């Protein structure tokens, strides 16, 4: 039975998660600039506020006041909707990610997850797959050959890596026998029960495919500046460009949260509150994301496709077969 307390608690959780994710997206830009700056022996943002912490706010104000230029040859309705389509799926994914243990407030038990679906993993994969439509529509509707090439690249990349992406977690599902994100965390109560130790190959495959799925370096072919100017978002400016920019970081945080939940024990950890452990793990994976960008050069497009179909896909199948033989025979 749905009570008033349940509705209020759910509304509060939604607001807190949305604010936390948007704030995380803003400061992920600061984190990336700082870490890449240190990797390249630069200072990074340091003038807007202490340690440059007000830089994201300055960027938001700058983008808000920039002129919103729409190309003459653009398909205007699709052009306007594309950034929204790219942004929303990343936000919706957080509906099933548990970020803490159950707590009790005024006699009301509150699960630290917006919705504990028993098909949580399927929901995440279904929702995150929709984000590519925003990129493809942006590339097509802009009326630019560079944008179109970026959109086509993104769709080809998604098809190539989505299969291995999905297969990489099948080993975890074979072991856990559940699709619930909350139950997956519960099964990783002890450190050596984390699925990264029981599925090391699955973890590596998942991370590589996730980087490719989110179009991050070294797999950022849809927006390769040296080839396509800016790819699918070349013709976007002002707040429309900002939505693509925020959407990219929202996807990164989503991937970090999913990796934390599936492979790194979720919010489990000693001494500190569960939410703190969850945030620490997400932060460390985000730092890893940035480290990869500052370390590896962009691959060629044929290398990207070969890696997806000739290496990751066979390895993902092998991982499923070996896991099934070990745990189900």
Say what the pLDDT of residue 322 is: 92
Is residue 208 within 8 Å of residue 276, measured between CB atoms?
no
Burial of 129 (0-12, 13-18, 19+ CB in 10 A): middle
Q: How far apart are CA 142 and CA 23, in angstroms?
A: 29
Residue 263, pLDDT score: 92
pLDDT at res. 179: 87
pLDDT computed for residue 4 by the predictor? 73
pLDDT the model gives residue 37: 87
In order of 37, 45, 48, the CA distances from 51 in angstroms are: 13, 7, 8
Q: Supply the pTM of this predicted model.
A: 0.89
Residue ranges of domains in the chain: 69-328
CA distance 251 to 134: 13
Walking along the chain (329 residues) 10 residues at a time, the average pLDDT comes out as 71 86 87 87 83 85 81 81 84 85 73 81 86 82 81 81 88 89 88 90 91 81 70 78 83 90 88 88 90 84 85 92 84
Q: What pLDDT sits at residue 321? A: 92
């Amino acid at each position: 039975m749905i009570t008033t307390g349940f509705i209020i608690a759910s509304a509060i959780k939604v607001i807190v998660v949305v604010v936390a994710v948007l704030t995380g997206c803003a400061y992920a830009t600061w984190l990336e600039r700082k870490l890449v700056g240190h990797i390249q022996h630069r200072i990074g943002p340091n003038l807007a506020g202490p340690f440059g912490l007000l830089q994201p706010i300055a960027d938001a104000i700058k983008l808000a006041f920039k002129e919103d230029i729409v190309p003459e040859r653009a398909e205007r309705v699709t052009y306007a909707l594309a950034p929204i389509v790219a942004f929303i799926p990343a936000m919706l994914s957080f509906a099933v990610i548990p970020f803490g243990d159950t707590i009790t407030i005024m006699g009301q038990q509150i699960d630290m997850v917006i919705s504990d679906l028993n098909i949580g993993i399927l929901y995440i994969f279904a929702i995150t797959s929709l984000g590519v439509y925003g990129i493809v529509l942006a590339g097509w509707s802009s009326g630019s050959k560079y944008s179109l090439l970026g959109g086509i690249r993104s769709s080809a990349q998604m098809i190539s890596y989505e299969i291995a992406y999905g297969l990489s977690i099948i080993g975890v599902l074979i072991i856990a026998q559940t699709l619930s994100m909350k139950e997956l965390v519960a099964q990783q109560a002890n450190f050596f029960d984390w699925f990264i130790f029981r599925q090391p190959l699955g973890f590596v495959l998942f991370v590589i495919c996730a980087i490719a799925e989110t179009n991050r370096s070294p797999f950022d072919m849809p927006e390769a500046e040296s080839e396509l100017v800016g790819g699918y978002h070349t013709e976007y400016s002002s707040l429309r460009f900002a939505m693509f920019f925020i959407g990219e970081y929202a996807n990164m945080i989503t991937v970090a949260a999913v990796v934390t939940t599936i492979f790194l024990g979720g919010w489990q950890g000693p001494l500190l509150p569960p939410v703190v452990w969850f945030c620490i793990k997400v932060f460390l994976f985000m730092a890893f994301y940035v480290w990869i960008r500052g370390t590896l050069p962009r691959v060629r497009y044929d290398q990207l496709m070969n890696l997806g179909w000739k290496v990751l896909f066979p390895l993902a199948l092998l991982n499923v077969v070996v896991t099934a033989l070990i745990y189900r025979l």
